[in-house]
């Protein structure tokens, strides 16, 4: 029975706070852009961009990044990662890029995303915004902006569901059967 | 040495026998055949309830009285099979097969006589090669080996061989098998000249200009697989020509490995007109279609190629109505590495001696042939064509095959006695394998 | 996910697999548009090109695709002849495997060779052309090109012109385009279009003027001079006059028709220079797309559990 950790209001408040933190830390929106990691981070990046627009009255560029070609688990995964769209319609060189993802777990996706970004250009800085940090890092990766920290065990799974995908806005925690 | 085969179902078309009976063999010859009469059938007793009068135990004045009794109840006892079309590969291609291994395979398949084709190395186009084969067979062969000489020197299709001399040395027929005689004039001469020696010409019918480089039957499948096809007409055109030349010369013609519907029709028509032609087919032509080539399985690469369902039906019909007289194997063993390569370059051929009888038994199961007719196609008729025996008449050589038609066995090519393991029938479950094959009185048996 | 570890032909692919390859190719085409045209996804893997038939274009395309995926590439050029005594096909294949090949890209003049190797080897075997059987990556890149220009393949009238009988490109395209729902026509002399192709779901024409009416795509095939001597057609002049693609003939097609050719072209014989260099031609795009499609094929094959 999945447990609901965050509901629609919770998600919205968290994103609002994060939008404020992003603009505070970066002292505005100059040379700032958001890049959502496929698939979980793409819609969140767009929402953050809207909120930043409300706060700063400025539009910042938003892109989406697919990391399938940069993953390190090609031979381990049961099923090959589906390739999705990479749409970064702006030069990344010299920009401050905030990577956006839904759940931060081992940190490997973020490592792959950074490598993918580096192949697109030379960003001035890369920061990380995640809605949920569930712990269990396997790499030295830390999020700069976190919606909520949820301690989990390895036998659990955290899933962020969004309206843009036809579901209700919520974050659920589910116990998984241990795979053989 | 005496052998008594008891209670087998004896099928000998040469004597019109098709019932339970006993056979007594002495010193390599058939001594007596006794069949169950009506009364005994009713009592279900073995006919030889009395011992043979001359063979009472303990008596026999100085003769060797050793007796081996073979219980053949529930099995067929037939004259040893005669294969008119076998490639023994020796001399020259011993890595594919030798007379020793080839005859071992023949025996296992129930054949007591095989006729070997001349496309050896050197080609059997002269008496000394014939003599070599005869001598080697006498030394190492497990059954009777009768050579078939080439029609033309080097099988080049240009000059006739010394048929008379070669016949004296032991050749029973002449064929350029593997190749046709493309030149009509030479084929005509061959059919005329052979008349002097009373031997048949066996024709491999293939118009090489049409079959050029082809590796399978031509049709939608060959296009789909991207393999060059051989149209059925390549066989039929040559066949028609040979029949016309036969009419012209009044010689003796036997058609090798008939594979197409059109060929069966041509032969049927010729026979209706009284032409003296005989024809053979091989088990793969009534058991497999070109579909076996899918996946580029070189074990299904054979010349003539495997054809379509319609051709199979026509061949079965031809066997049934007597258009096709003989079932031969065209046993063509090849070395494993030769077949384990590009489909285009793998040599064509199926190692068929050890599966022929059981595949042919299916025709009896399907009602295409009676058991007696099958024995005719595989023993009596080849005998007639070549002037041999093919019979269980007393006085004949003890060439007898005893077969078990009940036990189903899996075909395992790696256990073949032949060096050639190239067969598309590997893994098939078949019935009708020989239990014992007796060749000139010598018993061959397997567990 | 693809179902088999090898790409042997379009015959063996389902429509879903074809579409997966095309969708993945789109992502790789993006990559090829960037400054850094390389991705690390197959780093550490080894690709061996085993070409028994000479080919510069296809081999370099595969080589580049393999490098762009970060694999290590080895080229094995083997002189082909059934007569020359050399290493057997199987021995060559086992040697290549012993080198640690993860991908073996093979071109051979005999149909069925990739299938034989796929059975014997652990590596993923990619058919780069086997005799007159198939050339699957060519058909995939052709479908990708058509999709790029026309948004979908389904329902289009597509004419393939030339030596169908001996063209593995034509065969693979017939299979893929019919699977994707296009209406395929074959145009050429009767000696070069086997009768049985009518059972493949295509319509056969022997006159260009009839076959080109209203087509959306014209795919020209290279005419091979060797066929001339064997009675397939009497002369290249006669061939060109009857089946060469000229502006006049092209005008019978739809206004937005695209012209394709797998290359290399015989300018002036099967295709006029004005068309080859003209606005309707997508021939060069085919080459670029070939790279993206081959990267997609390799990427997806790597994901098949062996």
Question: Do C153 and C33 have their domain in common?
Answer: no
pLDDT in tens, B234-268: 999 999 999 999 999 999 999 999 999 999 999 99
**Residue range B367-379: mean pLDDT, rounded:** 97
Q: Closest chain C residue to B225 measured between Cα atoms? A: C133
What's B164-184 look like in SS3?
HHHHHHCCCEEECCCCCCCCH
pLDDT in tens, C173-199: 999 999 999 999 999 999 999 999 999
User: Which of B217, B223, B340 to substitute to test the interface with C, most C CBs within 10 Å?
Assistant: B223
CATH number of the domain encompassing residue C129: 3.40.50.1370
Which residues of chain B lie closer than 8 angstroms to C200, CB-CB?
220, 224
What is the model's pLDDT at position C86? 67
Q: Which of A69, A78, A85 sits opposite C41 (nearest CB)?
A: A69
* Angle subtended at Cα A75 by Cα A71 and Cα A78, rounded to the nearest 5 degrees: 95
Other Cβ atoms within 10 Å of A76 Cβ, number: 7
Q: Which of A66, A77, A78 sits opposite C27 (nearest CB)?
A: A66
How remote is the C-alpha of A57 from its chain's centroid?
Answer: 23
How remote is the C-alpha of B373 from its chain's centroid?
Answer: 15
- Indicate whether C73 pLDDT > 90: yes
Task: For residue C10, tell me if it sits in a domain.
Answer: no
* Strands B2-12 and B17-26, sheet pairing: antiparallel
Which residues of chain C lie closer than 8 angstroms to B228, CB-CB?
132
Task: For residue C8, tell me if it sits in a domain.
Answer: no
Contacts 24+ apart (CB under 8 A), B165-170: B165/B126, B165/B127, B166/B126, B166/B127, B166/B130, B167/B197, B167/B199, B168/B127, B169/B127, B169/B130, B169/B131, B169/B134, B170/B130, B170/B131, B170/B133, B170/B134, B170/B146
- Indicate whether B58 pLDDT > 50: no
pLDDT in tens, B341-352: 999 999 999 999
Question: Do C278 and C291 have their domain in common?
Answer: no
**Binary contact (C36, A69; C-beta < 8 A):** no
**Binary contact (A80, C31; C-beta < 8 A):** no
Domain boundaries, chain B: 80-386
Ranges A106-115, C3-12, C233-242: which has the least confidence:
C233-242
Task: For residue C2, tell me if it sits in a domain.
Answer: no
What's B4-17 look like in SS3?
EEEEEEEEECCCCE
In the residue annotation, B330 being an active-site residue is answered as yes
Domains of chain A: 3-175 (3.40.50.2020)
Cβ distance C174 to C197 under 8 Å?
yes
**Binary contact (A80, C36; C-beta < 8 A):** no
Average pLDDT, chain B: 93
Q: Closest chain B residue to C131 measured between Cα atoms? A: B226
**Residue range B353-366: mean pLDDT, rounded:** 96
The pTM score is: 0.89
Task: For residue C182, tell me if it sits in a domain.
Answer: yes
Question: Do C53 and C177 have their domain in common?
Answer: no
Q: Closest chain C residue to A75 measured between Cα atoms? A: C303
Which residues of chain A lie closer than 8 angstroms to C41, CB-CB?
68-71, 74
Half-sphere exposure of C109 (CA within 13 A, CB side): 10
Q: Which 8-state DSSP code applies to residue C224?
A: P
Number of structural domains, chain C? 2
Topology, domain B80-386:
TIM Barrel (3.20.20)
What is the model's pLDDT at position A178? 60
What is the model's pLDDT at position B389? 86
Ranges B68-77, B275-284, C48-57: which has the least confidence:
C48-57
Which residues of chain C lie closer than 8 angstroms to B223, CB-CB?
165, 171, 194, 196-197
Task: For residue C3, tell me if it sits in a domain.
Answer: no
- Indicate whether B217 pLDDT > 50: yes
Question: Do C28 and C72 have their domain in common?
Answer: yes
pLDDT in tens, B131-187: 999 999 999 999 999 999 999 999 999 999 999 999 999 999 999 999 999 999 999
**Binary contact (C110, B340; C-beta < 8 A):** no
Per the structure, the complete domain to which residue C111 belongs is given by: 15-133+287-302
Which residues of chain B lie closer than 8 angstroms to C52, CB-CB?
none
- Indicate whether A57 pLDDT > 90: yes
Question: Do C141 and C186 have their domain in common?
Answer: yes
What is the model's pLDDT at position A81? 82
Ranges A17-21, A32-36, B306-310, C29-33: which has the least confidence:
C29-33
Structure confidence at residue A65 as a pLDDT band (50, 70, 90): very high
Q: Which of A74, A79, A120 sits opposite C1 (nearest CB)?
A: A79
Q: Which of B22, B176, B242, B330 is catalytic?
A: B330
User: Which of A63, A74, A78, A88 to substitute to test the interface with C, most C CBs within 10 Å?
Assistant: A74
Interface confidence (ipTM) of the complex: 0.89
By percentage, how much of chain A surpasses pLDDT 90? 85
Task: For residue C6, tell me if it sits in a domain.
Answer: no
Question: Do C298 and C212 have their domain in common?
Answer: no
Burial B34-57 (b: 16+ CB within 10 A, else e): ebbeeebeeeeebbbeeebeebee
By percentage, how much of chain B surpasses pLDDT 90? 91
- Indicate whether C266 pLDDT > 60: yes
* Orientation of helix B261-272 relative to helix B309-320, angle to 10°: 30
- Indicate whether A166 pLDDT > 50: yes
Q: Is C78 on the interface with A (CB under 8 A)?
A: no
Which residues of chain B lie closer than 8 angstroms to C116, CB-CB?
296, 340-343
Q: Closest chain A residue to C33 measured between Cα atoms? A: A120
Structure confidence at residue B40 as a pLDDT band (50, 70, 90): low
Question: Do C185 and C201 have their domain in common?
Answer: yes
């Amino acid at each position: 029975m999945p447990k609901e950790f965050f509901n629609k209001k919770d998600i919205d408040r968290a994103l609002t706070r994060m939008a404020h933190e992003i603009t505070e830390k970066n002292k505005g929106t100059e040379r700032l852009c958001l890049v959502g990691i496929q698939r979980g981070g793409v819609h969140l990046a767009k929402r953050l961009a809207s909120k930043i627009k409300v706060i700063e009255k400025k539009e910042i560029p938003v892109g989406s990044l697919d990391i399938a070609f940069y993953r390190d688990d090609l031979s381990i995964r049961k099923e090959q990662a589906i390739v999705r769209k990479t749409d970064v319609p702006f030069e990344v060189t010299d920009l401050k890029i905030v990577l956006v993802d839904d759940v931060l777990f081992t940190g490997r996706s973020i490592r792959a995303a950074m490598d993918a970004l580096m192949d697109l250009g030379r960003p001035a800085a890369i920061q990380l915004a995640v809605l949920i940090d569930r712990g269990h890092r396997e790499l030295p990766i830390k999020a700069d902006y976190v919606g909520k920290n949820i301690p989990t065990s390895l036998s659990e799974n955290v899933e962020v569901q969004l309206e843009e995908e036809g579901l209700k806005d919520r974050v659920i925690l589910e116990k998984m059967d241990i795979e053989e | 040495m005496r052998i008594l085969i008891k209670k087998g179902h004896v099928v000998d078309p040469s004597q019109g026998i098709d019932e339970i009976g006993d056979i007594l063999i002495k010193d390599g010859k058939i001594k007596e055949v006794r069949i169950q009469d009506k009364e005994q059938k009713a009592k279900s007793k073995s006919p030889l309830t009395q011992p043979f009068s001359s063979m009472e135990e303990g008596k026999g004045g100085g003769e060797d009285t050793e007796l081996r009794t073979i219980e053949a109840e529930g099995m067929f006892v037939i004259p040893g099979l005669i294969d008119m079309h076998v490639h023994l590969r020796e001399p020259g291609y011993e890595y594919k097969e030798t007379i020793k291994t080839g005859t071992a395979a023949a025996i296992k398949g129930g054949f007591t006589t095989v006729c070997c084709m001349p496309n050896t190395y050197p080609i059997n186009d002269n008496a000394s090669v014939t003599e070599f084969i005869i001598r080697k067979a006498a030394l190492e062969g497990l059954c009777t080996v009768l050579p078939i000489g080439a029609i033309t020197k080097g099988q080049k299709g240009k000059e006739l061989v010394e048929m008379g001399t070669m016949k004296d040395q032991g050749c029973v027929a002449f064929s350029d098998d593997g190749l046709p005689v493309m030149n009509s004039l030479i084929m005509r001469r061959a059919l005329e000249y052979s008349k002097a020696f009373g031997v048949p010409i066996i024709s491999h019918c293939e118009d090489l200009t049409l079959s050029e480089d082809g590796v399978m039957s031509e049709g939608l499948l060959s296009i789909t697989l991207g393999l060059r096809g051989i149209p059925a007409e390549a066989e039929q055109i040559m066949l028609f020509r040979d029949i016309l030349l036969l009419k012209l010369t009044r010689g003796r013609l036997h058609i090798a490995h008939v594979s197409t519907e059109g060929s069966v029709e041509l032969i049927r028509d010729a026979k209706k007109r009284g032409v003296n032609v005989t024809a053979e087919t091989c088990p793969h032509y009534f058991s497999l279609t070109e579909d076996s080539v899918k996946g580029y399985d070189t074990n299904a690469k054979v010349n003539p190629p495997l054809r379509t369902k319609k051709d199979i039906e026509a061949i079965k019909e031809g066997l049934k109505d007597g258009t096709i007289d003989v079932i031969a194997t065209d046993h063509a063993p090849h070395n494993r590495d030769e077949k384990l390569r590009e489909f285009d370059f793998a040599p064509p051929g199926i190692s068929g001696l050890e599966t022929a009888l059981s595949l042919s038994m299916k025709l009896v199961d399907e009602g295409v042939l009676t058991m007696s007719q099958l024995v005719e196609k595989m023993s009596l008729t080849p005998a007639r064509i070549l002037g041999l025996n093919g019979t269980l008449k007393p006085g004949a050589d003890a060439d007898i095959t005893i077969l078990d038609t009940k036990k189903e066995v899996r075909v395992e090519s790696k256990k073949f006695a032949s060096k050639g393991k190239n067969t598309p029938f590997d893994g098939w479950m078949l019935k009708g394998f020989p239990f014992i094959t007796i060749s000139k009185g010598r018993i061959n048996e397997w567990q | 996910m693809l179902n088999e570890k090898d790409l042997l032909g379009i015959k063996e692919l389902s429509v879903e697999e074809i579409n997966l390859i095309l969708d993945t190719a789109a992502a790789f085409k993006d990559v090829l548009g960037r400054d850094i045209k390389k991705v690390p996804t197959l780093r550490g893997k080894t690709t061996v090109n085993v070409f028994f038939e000479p080919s510069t274009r296809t081999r370099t395309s595969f080589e580049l695709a393999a490098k762009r995926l970060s694999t290590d590439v080895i080229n094995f050029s083997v002189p082909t002849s059934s007569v020359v005594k050399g290493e057997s096909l199987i021995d060559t294949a086992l040697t290549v495997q012993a080198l640690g090949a993860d991908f073996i890209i093979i071109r051979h003049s005999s149909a069925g060779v990739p299938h034989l190797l796929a059975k014997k080897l652990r590596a993923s075997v990619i058919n780069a052309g086997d005799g007159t059987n198939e050339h699957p990556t060519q058909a995939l890149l052709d479908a990708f090109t058509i999709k790029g220009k026309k948004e979908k393949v389904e329902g289009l009238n597509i004419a393939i012109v030339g030596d169908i009988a001996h063209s593995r490109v034509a065969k693979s395209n017939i299979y893929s385009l019919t699977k994707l729902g296009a209406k395929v026509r074959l145009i050429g002399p009767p000696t070069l279009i086997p009768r049985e192709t009518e059972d493949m779901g295509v319509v056969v024409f022997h006159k260009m003027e009839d076959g080109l009416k209203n087509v959306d795509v014209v795919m020209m095939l290279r005419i091979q001079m060797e066929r001339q001597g064997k009675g397939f057609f009497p002369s290249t002049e006669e061939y060109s006059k009857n089946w060469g693609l000229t502006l006049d003939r092209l005008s019978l097609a739809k206004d937005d028709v695209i012209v394709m050719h797998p290359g290399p072209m015989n300018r002036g014989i099967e295709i006029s220079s004005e068309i080859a260099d003209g606005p309707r031609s997508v021939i060069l795009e085919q080459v670029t797309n070939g790279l993206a499609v081959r990267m997609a094929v390799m990427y997806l094959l790597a994901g098949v559990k062996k």
